[in-house]
Every structure is written in structure tokens, then in C-alpha cells.
Structure 1
Amino acid sequence: MAFDYDLFVIGGGSGGVRAARVAASEAGAKVALAEESRYGGTCVIRGCVPKKLMVFASGYPEAVEEAKAYGWAMEQGPFDWPAFHGKMAAELDRLEEVYRSILSRSGVETFDQRARLVDAHTVELADGTRKSAKHILVATGGRPVRPDLANADLGLVSDDIFHLENLPKKILIIGGGYIACEFACILNGLGVDVTMYYRGAQILRGFDDEARGLVADAMARRGIEIHTGANILEMAPANSDHGSITLTDSDAAMGADREMVETVAHADTDGAAPDGPVWVKAGNGEEGVFDKVFFATGRAPNTADMGLEEVGVKLARNGSIEVDEYSQTAVPSIYAIGDVTGRVQLTPVAIREGMAFVETVFKGNPTPVDHDLIPSAVFTRPELGTVGLTEEQAMAQGEIEVYCTSFRPMREAFADGHERVLMKLIVAKDTRRVLGCHIVAPEAGEMIQLAGIAIKMGATKEQFDATCAVHPTMSEEIVTMRHPVRTA
């Protein structure tokens, strides 16, 4: 049977674009790609890139204060959000054009419209045109979701933050994961009064307990109000009947058994951010008014109304596409990569999955995707960098030694600051292999990338110890911790 293409990719994010480009330019495949929104996907347009630019912007007020401690006569001026926002938007436009140009130069035919599956080898575009392909790759990513709560549409989701015309003066963030914590630190740094509600006992669930505790302390010290064991029961547009009050620490007593319903609703990622102050009622009966409420309560895969199950592709309960180690679905000609599979939701992982797909399907080199020992960072202030097992995870697998130090770094101490950093290694007692590394410090993301190489290679604690320290640096502690602080 003759096909229009060797490969048809649905989704123009980082994973889909990489797979399309490499299949076309390196494997000589005839490739097409359809994208209904903007090229670059979540990372470039509404995630990693604009968020990191906001991280940079939010750090300057502290830099000015620190500069004074080092003898500089500096004064902090007001932050111009419209000016920054305009420049950020221009940068995203530039990056999107880079993605389009990469595809064009690689010979990939693109369609700026939605595509859905008709059968194992056919997709239908929004205009009714049908295209056939020997292989189909679904790389449609995910989206932020709002809880199933009355008037939840009054709240923002992460996509909306990048479309705000003006920054709110006071915001309530619902959630305690990395997105919630990152934006709490960003908005706090930009001068917004930030309150967080999280139904769990501690923010950043799934990360090392000691590390996330230090991050929580640092956030609180910066004035971010974190209420754990907390949720909201009602929200509505604010009016004269809804007085503005300060929610107190008693909110922590809200019953965690009255958790927000997990059922999710689609976020309107293309619309304008909701306007007007919002009244909320907390689980303990207290009420408050915020300029904005921001839901950071999870993400869902973009699999709705794509014809996936109709053609035989199996979906998990959360809607993600089920795939094997080669990213192949239950339909042999259909593959899926990235966030839509619900595996590891990180841009570099989606790119690696795309590369492995091309190796497997177009280069005759079956390549399973390696999801082991993936370094990652949470861009809070300070940052949290992590790779490998947490202390809690490692304890469940066998006997371990924990090497850990927490201290005020030289730069902070000289400026009479209170910020502490954390360096932590988890070591297997029998093999001496370093199972995990956790860093809480400025630029922890930069440090964990390099530590990740050694840990991926299977380095032992003694090999870390044999590495000469770079002095004076914070990171030298990674190779100078000689005695475990505890064993388990």
C-alpha cells in the first residue's frame, strides 16, 4: 500500500519536532507534522522558557539588596511588568519561528491545524483533508487543569500567567507541587503578596523530605504564606458582601479528609486570564478576597476527541496513552511520546523519547527509552536539584548511608543573610554506589546536571571523595563529606 508519508507527527512540541526533524533529515523519511496551536509546545510557549525568564526577573530585588551589603549604592525601583511581558512575548515569537524554520529546512511538511486519527494509518485534519502514513506519532503533550469546583473558571492556571496584562497585588495559589512552588517564588520576587494552600502535610511531595523542608522554610522566610492541610470549598466573584480578611495559620487545621475533588475540567489555554477579584471560602469556614486565584492542581494528557480508542489505542485511567518501552501503542503503526504518555513529564525526556523512536522505527536500531536516573530541578528560590533516589526511597530498598551538610554559603554569610544551602548524598552501604544526590542552593539546577553524569555512570562514594574540591565554592561539599550523618 502506498502512503502519503512515512511518518505523520501530531503535535509540534519539543518531542514531536525533534522526532520529525531527525526522521526527515537523518533517516530520509517523508514526514508531515500537524500542530493546532503554537510550535514549541508547552516548554517553549507556556512552560519552561517563559517561566525561566520570569525566574530571572524575580531574582533582581534580592540582588539589589545583596549588592548594598557588598558596598554598592543601589536602590530598587518598581518592576515594569508590561515592558518585561512584551519582551518575553517577542522572545517566544522568535523561538516559535526557530521551530518552524527547523522543520522547513528539514523538509517536513507542516499543517497548522488539529489532526485526529481515522484508522491505524490515516489522520484527518480540521479542514476535512485526510492523510495516510506508514507510521503515526502522537506527541500532543498535556494541559493544566482546574478542579471540579463551582466557579473554578474564575481561577488561573499556569498557561494564564503568561497572558496577564498586569500583575495582581495579592494571589492565592492552590497546590504544592513544583509548578505551584516555582510560581509562588516568582510572583513573590516580583512583589506580589502570595498565599499557598496545599492539602498535603508538606510541599513538593515526592522530593527528598529534608530538601523540600529547607525549600519550604526559605519560601516562608521570604513572606510566602504556606498553609498545609488546607483547601478551599467555595469561590465566587468578589462583591460587597465578601469582606477581605487575612487567612491565618489556623487554616492548617482544615480537614485534609475534605480534599478537593480530583475530577478535572479543561483549561481554556487560548483565552484571556479571568478578570476581577475572587472571594474564597476555606475548609475551616474562614473567607478571603484575592486579586487572583491560581490553580496548580495538576495536568492532564491531551487525548480527548482524537479517535485514539476508536482505532484501538489503549488509554490509562487518567487518559494518558499506554505504550511499551519503545513508545509503541497497542496499534503497531501508532507510537506516542512525551507528556501524553504520562511517563516522565520533562522536555528533555520527550526529546530523548523522540530520538529513540526514530532509532527504532527508521534506523533499524531498536532503542528502549531509558527513564532511569533523570536529573531535574525545581526553580524555587533557592533552587532544588535532584537525581536518583530520595532518602525515603532508598531506605525502602536496602541499607544506606546518608551524607549531608547544611550551611550558610560565604556569599550569603558576608551579606548577613539567612539563606542556607543543602548538599546531600544517598549511598548504598554494600556497593558504595551513590544512589541519589539532592542540592538546595542558588543555581542547584546547574550543579545537579554535572552530578547527574557521575551518578548515571554508577560512581561510588569513594570516587566522589577522590575528586579534588574546587575551593571556595558551595559545590565542593559534594566531594568533602567524609562521614555519614546517619545510616538506615
Structure 2
Amino acid sequence: MSDTSKYDYDLFVIGGGSGGVRAARVAAGEYGAKVGLAEHDRYGGTCVIRGCVPKKLMVFASGYAATAEEAQCYGWDIKPGPFDWHGFRDRLNSELDRLEDVYRSLLDGSGVDKFDAFASLEDAHTVKLSTGETKTAKHILVATGGHPVRPDLPNADLGIVSDDIFHLEKLPKSILIIGGGYIACEFACILKGLGVEVTQYYRGAQILRGFDEEARGLIAESMRSNGIDLHTGTNIVEMALEADRNEGPQPTASDASMGASVKQAEDMRVQNDGAQAGQRGPIWVKSTNGGEKIFDMVLFATGRDPSTKGMGLEEIGIEIGRRGEIVVDEYSQTAVPSVYAIGDVTDRVNLTPVAIREGMAFTKTVFGDEPTPVDHELIASAIFTQPEMGTVGMSEEDAREQEEIDVYCTSFRPMQSAFAGSTSRVLMKLVVSKKTQVVLGCHIVAPNAGEMIQLAGIAVKMGATKQQFDQTCAVHPTMSEELVTMRDPVRTS
């Protein structure tokens, strides 16, 4: 029941992404709380507007050229044609507009008051809006997500970041992608599939750090065989517009925003970079290996930071971590008891379904009188490269450090593409405790691996043993049947 005798709201949410909207809706709709929510950008957040959803639609779009070629081997007279970026982009924008309207309607339907404004905290119970208004609340939930960052490099403003991809006026003929994480690798595969000449630099020894070594090795091999010019152990050291190379050093990205608030600088970047970055002429790049090359565009996929600057959090006693993340306990509560935080802004597990789970746990804890810690163990995830990677649990390397293990693994050419003459391979892998026979990790590299790992994740989360996998009858002919037919370990330790 709502009790706003002392405050304007029972709950005020800062951030209109998936986690914040879910928490606001549940608090208002199921628990009868009076709820306000502020969002200074678009409702839906990173996932819906500039992340998972538009990216996955681009993944779909990028796969059709190869599908058309493969179809010819199956007897279809299909000829791949040119990709119409403008037609796709316009349809994509219409879909994102529709989804944003859905989010707004869901909040309206739950009785949540919306404020299209930037919000900061004046004290433990007071939110100040960029409109000049102030609102008080018994509880405040920060769910402001994260944002991509550029490296501290002269002329870094010439490059784009992942947010900007969806707003390009035209696709480049060539692009250099800096980074080796899942965002860098996904966009390398997407853009290559759309006909862009893709080069990728990553400073580490292998892409997709933190994932299973064997699985990420196959992804790297597949990316190279698909025509991506992937360079590991390589980074960018200089960049400039080709036309300006002899005009002296240019200001760094941080210098460019001096004198403006963090909020103002970010808004200017969102409004301008998508249309202008990378569209101003060829970019000259020098790498750590001494090579020099000209690209139409440079994409920095060098990490994301929590969006906490300019919100007055530390001033009221909230602890902020090294990367700008809000430090919370297992119940998502900050050092200020009335303030909670969920999602990417806490830098725990930066996935949309996790933010939604954290939002649900928050509402149960605060409004349902049911203290609910957030379970961050054994969360399945997918990387939408081509082929995809699906993973849940521990990598072989991490498991081996913990205990003795058996590794069951097979790699083969899948039926559909092998028939068409492709040499591409898939991987099915189980990491198993030698002592208990519990499956500690499952790793899949294959088309639609994301769909497979969702179901495999249920078994791993339940603590299934290798014997229970073996007792499951295979579905034939499928790629995933290999998960239940591998009888002998390929490695033990």
C-alpha cells in the first residue's frame, strides 16, 4: 500500500531501461506503490534502443547474403543483391519507436509518473530534475545503465562507438574496429556480412577474454575464414583525418568536452557523433606493429563504463567503485539505506535479463517484505558472432584451477553448411567435475548457439550430472545431439 504522507513518492526510479521500468511497473502495479520515473534519453534503455534489439536485427540482416549463396547449393535460383542500408535503417528506427512506445504505455498503464528529464540526487530522499523540479521519495532506485567509452587518444573523436552504428547516414566501405570483446566481435561479423571491408585490432593475445579458450579460438578462426582481417597483439597508437595529417596534433576526446558538464557533453555526442563521426573523410591509422592504413571509419569497442557522473551520488555518501560503478550489497542496497541500484550501473553482470531479475528482487525486498538476494550464479549468455557462441558456467581453464575435471568436446562440420561445401566447424563442449560428475560448464559455438544454450542452461543450473546428460535420448539429426552423445572425455586433469 502506498504511504506518501511524508514524501511525494514511495519510489523514484532514475533510468527508463529494462531494469528500471520493470521495477517501477511491479512496485506500482503489484504492490500499490506511488512511483515516479525519470529518463533523460529514450525509454527502453541500452538494450532496446542502442543494444541487444537493434544489434540482433542487424545480425539477422547480415546473415542473408550467405543464406542466398547457400540456397543455390540446395537448388534454389537465388542471387544475392546489394544491401539497402537506408531501407533497413528506416525500418529499424520504426521498430525502435514502436518498442519505446510500448515501454511508455506499460508505465502509463501501471500508474507510474514519467519525467523526461535528467535526474540527480540532492540527498538520501530528494531527486532534482533538469527541469528545475525536485521530488522526494521514501526509496530511490538508480538504474542508469552504462555507456561506451573512447580511449584517451588524440583525435579519438574521429571514431564512432557502438551507440552510433545505428544512426549512420551510410555504411563505410572499410572500417577498423578496435577491441576484442563481444561488442567488437559481433559488429565485426555484422558489418562484414553487410558488405563492409572489416579490419579488427585487439591488444590481447586472443579475442573474447574471459570465455572458454577453445571456444573463443574457434570464433577467431571462423572470423578470419569469413574474411575479417583480425590482428591480435595489436593496438592503435595514432589516428588523424588523412587530409589533416600534416596540420599538427588534434585535441583529445577529453579535451574536446572541457568546459561542458558530463551530461551536456554526452548529449552533444549522442546528437552529433552518429551523423558526423566517420563521415568526415578517410582516417589514417598507425598501429603498434608499425603498420599504417587508411579506413573510411574507425569504431571503438573498447569498453563501457557505468553512467554515474554528474548525479551527486558520492556527495550524499554513496560508494562509487574504480570504474564509476555504484557499490551495492546482495540486496542491491547502497551505503545510503534509502538508495538502491540495479543493472549495468552496478557493474555486476551486465546483461538485460539480469537487470530485470535485479529489479524484481528489489521490489520483493522493499515492497513485498520478502528479502530477496540476487542470484548471479550460472547465468547463460550468448555472443552473436557468426557462428554464435553460447556459454554457461565455468570455462575449462577456470574449472581446472578449482578441481580435477573431465572435458568432453567435439568439433565437426554441421550438415546444412557441409552439404553446401562450407568448411566451417561447430563446437560442443562440456566441462565436468571428476569427483561429482556435475556439469560445471557448457560451451557451444554454432549457428543458433544462443537458442541451444538457453535450454542447456536449465540443466546446468539444476546441477545435472554427465550421466543425466547421457541418459537423455538424442534428437537426430541435430547439432545439439552431440551434447548427449559424447561418451569419453578428450582431456582429464
Answer whether TM exceeds 0.5 for this pair: yes
1:125 Cα deviation from its structure 2 partner: 0.5
Task: Indicate which of 324, 342, 352 corresponds to 2:329.
Answer: 324
What's the secondary structure of 1:53's corresponding residue?
A: helix
Amino acid at match of 2:372: T
What's the secondary structure of 1:459's corresponding residue?
A: coil
**Corresponding residue for 1:251?**
none
RMSD: 1.6
Q: Distance in 2 between matches of 1:155 and 1:396?
A: 40
Q: In the alignment, does 2:116 pair up with 1:90?
A: no
Structure 1 residues 264 and 218: CA distance shift in structure 2, 3 A: farther
**Corresponding residue for 2:272?**
271
Q: Distance in 2 between matches of 1:424 and 1:35?
A: 42
Q: Distance in 2 between matches of 1:400 and 1:449?
A: 23
Deviations 1:269-308 (A, max 9, x none): 3323212221111123321110000000000110001010
Q: In the alignment, does 2:135 pair up with 1:134?
A: no
Q: In the alignment, does 2:361 pair up with 1:356?
A: yes
Task: Indicate which of 370, 393, 396 corresponds to 1:391.
Answer: 396
Amino acid at match of 1:63: T
What's the secondary structure of 1:432's corresponding residue?
A: coil
Runs (4+) off by over 3 Å: 261-267
Amino acid at match of 2:167: H
Where in structure 2 are there 5+ consecutive unaligned residues?
247-252, 258-264
Contact map agreement 1:386 1:448 (CA 8 A) in 2: yes
Q: Distance in 2 between matches of 1:226 and 1:314?
A: 39
Deviations 1:358-381 (A, max 9, x none): 000000000000000000000000
**Corresponding residue for 1:475?**
480
1:205 Cα deviation from its structure 2 partner: 0.5
**Corresponding residue for 1:424?**
429
Q: In the alignment, does 2:72 pair up with 1:71?
A: no
What's the secondary structure of 1:49's corresponding residue?
A: helix
What's the secondary structure of 1:272's corresponding residue?
A: helix
Task: Indicate which of 27, 30, 33 corresponds to 2:34.
Answer: 30
After TM superposition, the score normalised by the length of structure 1 is 0.95
Q: Distance in 2 between matches of 1:291 and 1:137?
A: 42
Contact map agreement 1:39 1:100 (CA 8 A) in 2: yes
Q: Distance in 1 between matches of 2:49 and 2:120?
A: 22
1:406 Cα deviation from its structure 2 partner: 0.2
**Corresponding residue for 2:260?**
none
Amino acid at match of 2:438: R
The alignment covers a number of residue pairs equal to 470
After TM superposition, the score normalised by the length of structure 2 is 0.94
What's the secondary structure of 1:147's corresponding residue?
A: coil
Give runs of aligned pairs for residues 399-410 of structure 1, distance below 5 A: 399-410=404-415
What's the secondary structure of 1:162's corresponding residue?
A: helix
Amino acid at match of 1:438: H
Amino acid at match of 1:211: A
Contact map agreement 1:211 1:440 (CA 8 A) in 2: yes
Deviations 1:163-187 (A, max 9, x none): 0010000000000000000000000
Q: Distance in 2 between matches of 1:208 and 1:448?
A: 14
**Corresponding residue for 1:115?**
119
Q: In the alignment, does 2:50 pair up with 1:46?
A: yes
1:211 Cα deviation from its structure 2 partner: 0.3
**Corresponding residue for 2:250?**
none
Q: Distance in 2 between matches of 1:451 and 1:217?
A: 25
Contact map agreement 2:61 2:194 (CA 8 A) in 1: yes
Q: In the alignment, does 2:153 pair up with 1:145?
A: no
What's the secondary structure of 1:270's corresponding residue?
A: helix
Contact map agreement 1:198 1:227 (CA 8 A) in 2: yes
**Corresponding residue for 1:256?**
none
Deviations 1:4-55 (A, max 9, x none): 0000000000000000000000011000000000000000000000000000
**Corresponding residue for 1:166?**
170
1:127 Cα deviation from its structure 2 partner: 1.5
Q: Distance in 2 between matches of 1:75 and 1:263?
A: 49
Amino acid at match of 1:152: A
Task: Indicate which of 216, 235, 241 corresponds to 1:237.
Answer: 241
Q: In the alignment, does 2:209 pair up with 1:205?
A: yes
Q: Distance in 2 between matches of 1:425 and 1:215?
A: 17
Amino acid at match of 1:470: V
Deviations 1:392-448 (A, max 9, x none): 000000000000000001112111111100000000001110000000000000000
Q: Distance in 1 between matches of 2:289 and 2:417?
A: 39
Q: Distance in 2 between matches of 1:344 and 1:264?
A: 32
Q: Distance in 1 between matches of 2:365 and 2:177?
A: 43
Q: In the alignment, does 2:288 pair up with 1:287?
A: no
